[in-house]
Structure 1
Amino acid sequence: MKGEQHISSLVVLHRPDSASIVRGFTTTHESLQIAAERDCRCVLLCETDNQRAIVDHIDALSLLPGVINVSLVYHHVESADELDQPAMTMALHQETDA
């Protein structure tokens, strides 16, 4: 078994002048990606292979200058083996229901 894949989203509330700091942090961390961004907040997509890495990202983000709060708003764990399986299409799903 390859392990687990953790998919989560984080909301980062920050000062308007700190947006570039948050952007810079995400570009240096491969497991983070900006999904949405506004003046004083952004939503980050976080994909890691363990739960501890999520907590480490939250801790590091909260220590950035101008960051007011970091909230975990979604967390899903999936077996890496399961993610390697082909997805069921809607047509196939309807055939199995018939």
Structure 2
Amino acid sequence: MDDKVGVISSMIIQSRPENMTAIKAALLNMPDTEISADDPSGKIVVVMEAESDRQLADGMKEIGDIPGVLGVNLVFHHSENAQ
């Protein structure tokens, strides 16, 4: 990320249990996105890194557009200039 703003955030994705497999597969295909945990009730915890807040917002929208996703809730957000 050199001289760009570095952003890291975590979020909880809510889905129906029967959609989790497809959603997790889609998440694994997203760059700089990692599944940290999941729960059989339909919750998935994701950590995402981005170069900017805009890139993070775009990634969250992309997650929200995955078929079967009911909601995306930001839990943690940190950004800083890479030094």
Higher relative contact order (CA 8 A, sep 6+): 2
RMSD: 1.3
Can you give the 5+ residue segments of structure 1 that lack an aligned partner in the other structure? Answer: 82-98
| Match of residue 87 from structure 1 | none
Q: Which of 69, 73, 76 in structure 2 is aligned with 1:71?
A: 73
Higher helix share: 1
SS at match of 2:58: helix
Bigger Cα displacement from structure 2, 64-73 vs 19-28: 19-28
Name the residue aligned to 1:37.
38
Residue in 1 that maps onto 2:63: 61
User: Following the alignment from structure 1 to structure 2, what is the Cα–Cα distance between the partners of residues 56 and 63?
Assistant: 11
- Whichever of the two has the greater Rg, that structure is 1
Task: Normalising by structure 2, report the TM-score.
Answer: 0.88
User: Where do 1:80-91 residues align within 5 Å?
Assistant: 80-81=82-83
Q: Distance in 1 between matches of 2:24 and 2:16?
A: 13
Runs (4+) off by over 6 Å: none
Q: Percent identity?
A: 26
Alignment correspondent of 1:50: 52
Query: Matched residue pairs, number?
Result: 81
Q: What is the CA–CA distance in structure 2 between the aligned matches of 1:19 and 1:63, rounded to whole Å?
A: 14
What runs of 5+ residues in structure 2 fail to find an aligned partner?
none
Q: Comparing both structures, which one devotes a greater share of its residues to strand?
A: 2
